Amino acid sequence: MKYRKNTQYFCLLFLVFLMAQGCAIVDKKNRRALNLLDDVIQIESTAGKICAAPIIVPVGTGAGLLDMIVVHPIVSVPKAADDTLDLIWRDPQGSDFRQILIFVPKLIVTPFYFSGDWVLRVLFPID
């Protein structure tokens, strides 16, 4: 029974790693803090890398978390807002009367569309 439980955990972990390959933070252009850290810190020798590891690993982990939790979600807001404006508000079709009739539904749909677009942009590498 214990073997079966461990196998289930392994399969779940494998599935998470497999799904993470499509994650937005895997894309290099979505890692602004880590890219900045890579540009600033360039150690050539192996001994230097080993000596700097106790400092670099926590700083790099912090930069990666900062990218995932703060920077990338904030950078995704204008893109999601542009998508929302393009689809719902720009280039109205039909007469003025039609636009008056669909104004309230547009107001209702806007936050849902924006939220969904923003979440998808944060989770997946959408250009």
Q: What is the pLDDT of residue 77?
A: 95
Is the CB of residue 124 less than 8 Å from the CB of residue 22? yes
Q: 27 phi and psi, to 5 degrees? A: -70, 130
Instruction: State the DSSP string of 13-60.
Output: HHHHHHHHTT-GGGSGGG-HHHHHHHHH----SHHHHHHHHHHHHHHH
pLDDT tens sequence across 90-119: 888 888 899 899 999 999 999 999 999 999
pTM to 2 decimals?
0.74
Q: What is the pLDDT of residue 57?
A: 92
| Sequence-separated (6 or more) residues with CB below 8 Å from residue 66 | 33
Domain chopping of the chain, boundaries:
24-123
pLDDT tens sequence across 25-36: 778 888 889 999
Cα separation, 70 vs 127, in Å, equals: 19
- Output the CA angle 32-120-103, nearest 5 degrees: 120
- Please report, as a single letter, which amino acid is at residue 98: R
Q: What is the pLDDT of residue 20?
A: 61
